Amino acid sequence: MKKTAAWLATHALEQLGVRFTFGIPGVQNTEFYDELNNSETVTPILVTHEGSASFIADAVSRVSGSIGTLAIVPAAGLTHAASGIAEALLAGVPMLVITGGIRTDLGKHYQLHEIDQHAFMKPLTKASFRIERHADVVPTIFEAYRIATTGEPGPVFVELPVNLQLFPEEVGDLPAYAPPPAAPLPAQADIVRAAELLLAAKRPGIFAGWGAVDALPQLKEIAEFLQAPVATTLQGLSTFPATHPLHAGFSFGPHAVPSARNAFDGCDALLAVGTRFGEIGTGSFGVTVPEHLVHIDINPQVFNKNYPAKVALEGDAAAVLQGLTFELQAHGAARPAESGPQAQIARDKQAYRKEWHDHDSKGRVNPARFFDELRRQMPDNAIATVDDGNHTFLTAELFPVHASRSLILPTDFNCMGYAVPAAVGAKLAQPQREVFSIVGDGAFMMTCMEILTAAKEELGIAYFVFHDGELSQIAQAQEIPYNRKPCAVLGSVNLEGIALATGAAYVRMENDAAIAGAISEARRITATGRPVVVDVNIDYSKRTAFTQGAVKTNFKRFPLAQRLRMVSRALVRKVTG
């Protein structure tokens, strides 16, 4: 049979269960968009910017079983989308990136959008493909999907030249997608050795990252068997519920909240699952990792990069943890609950909360009171999209996450502008769940026009914008050593005007007394299918444990002469104003 590459690509996406594509049509992918428009199972979604498209696709992959897919123009569309593609790569999130391409049948140079897209994509993706024949379209997209979703997931790039999209050719019988076999388990002897290390420990602990997001039953069983506290990475906040008495908090070093800091004090064996021990998750590598480290990850390249593992177990987190549970139970007895750190964790969490509640926010919104009320009103399975900034660490420390895959955010690539478009992807992928964003005003201004897409698609999303007029995370990091905040103070922005321009409703949250009513009103509006911008007059005057701890960790690492120079400069500036 004769088919165009546009038809073939659409057919391949249908076979893979792709539900949406995100992008903007252009001269080199209009045929693809026409075929997508004919599909009964794939819906093309128009966005305002391809950078937002990649964040939307990222969110679809994170909260659902469908892979986020881009359908974008080559060159400029791809460079716009690069930030979200790189975010997905470093976060281990699968994504299909499909662009058009210049004509390969003209023999002409300097065509529109003619750049080496594959050289550009090589460091940002797991693999890239340029399709040269119609017969290769379906097998190549299937292979791209296999690479994107196996091992450590990530984005894969496919270029589809426009002439192949436009002109039909004979293709013969089309292949069916065959799922790859499950990842093999580690050697049994290594699993036994890991179990023996953990059983011999007096104070074992567990550190879980995003790679453990689908291994909650196994994590809970091991944590309860060992009576081990569980800390998570930033990206892994929704891997283990804060309602569990062994949940300690985000990370466990000097930058962590007291409940995690104290629970891991004296930890003599650590079970790390689905984490790379990256800079943010470790508070600028400020954690003390014990000699007896058992590290589980599907990507063997992460082992021994920052902290040496006594036992490294390569494989899927849930499967490896299940095997480890069997060996723990075969070689030891479960520890009684009263021997664990639950009581201390509960006391520390309550004391930290009280410290925040006692803080005088001077007529602005107290972050702890805001997050308490947000948690009280939102259902456990509501999805939060969070951006990059001071609000990120306030959320990590003060908002208890109750369900798996219910909080997503940028981490290792650390890209501002994620939350607004990511909420669009989350709501499209999970329309039955409430979706809301926590976003600082600086990050909000980067991608706020994507609320147009939410309004057009009738997506009820609440955008809680922490409005203080600064790039606060950087401003605080500047203020400590420099006693000034160069280029961290924002221009004035009228959030009500942005809401009006994008078709969203607007709610103002002036102070603590307005918190409950503003959240309730926002939820009422979103239930009608309309997005809403909530203007939160946030108080950032109290610093998070993360900010204080990470700054101290980095400062202590400086040479003595540099520390003296920075302290003296800050003191002089403070005295002289």
User: Domain ranges in the chain?
Assistant: 2-170, 188-344, 359-546
> Is the pLDDT confidence value at 477 over 80?
no
| Residue 106: per-residue pLDDT | 84
Rounded-to-integer distance, Cα 204 and Cα 224, Å: 11
| Residue 480: per-residue pLDDT | 67
Percent of the chain whose predicted confidence (pLDDT) is above 90: 86
510 pLDDT band, cuts 50/70/90, is very high
pLDDT in tens, 454-471: 999 999 999 999 998 777
> Is the pLDDT confidence value at 473 over 80?
no
Rounded-to-integer distance, Cα 1 and Cα 168, Å: 9
| Residue 474: per-residue pLDDT | 73
> Is the pLDDT confidence value at 7 over 90?
yes
- CATH code for 188-344? 3.40.50.1220
Which of the listed CATH numbers 3.90.78.10, 3.40.50.970, 3.40.640.10, 2.40.50.140 matches domain 359-546? 3.40.50.970
| Residue 475: per-residue pLDDT | 74
> Is the pLDDT confidence value at 568 over 80?
no
Rounded-to-integer distance, Cα 59 and Cα 53, Å: 10
| Residue 575: per-residue pLDDT | 66
352 pLDDT band, cuts 50/70/90, is very high
Find the helix packing angle between 419-429 and 50-63, rounded to 10°. Answer: 50
Averaged pLDDT of the chain: 94
Cα dist. 299→113, 162, 314, 372, 519 in Å? 35, 36, 7, 37, 41
Which of the listed CATH numbers 3.40.50.720, 3.40.50.300, 3.40.50.970, 3.40.720.10 matches domain 2-170? 3.40.50.970
CATH topology match: 2-170 vs 359-546? yes
- Identity at 470, one-letter amino acid code: E
Rounded-to-integer distance, Cα 309 and Cα 316, Å: 17
pLDDT in tens, 294-342: 999 999 999 999 999 999 999 999 999 999 999 999 999 999 988 889 9
| Residue 419: per-residue pLDDT | 98
> Is the pLDDT confidence value at 25 over 70?
yes
| Residue 96: per-residue pLDDT | 98
- Chain-centroid distance of CA 181 in Å reads 27
Average pLDDT of 488-500?
A: 90
Rounded-to-integer distance, Cα 107 and Cα 521, Å: 60
pLDDT in tens, 134-171: 999 999 999 999 999 999 999 999 999 999 999 999 89
> Is the pLDDT confidence value at 577 over 70?
no
| Residue 562: per-residue pLDDT | 79
Spatial strand order of the sheet with 20-23 comes to 43-46, 20-23, 68-72, 95-101, 155-161, 127-130
Cα dist. 473→265, 284, 394 in Å? 27, 15, 10
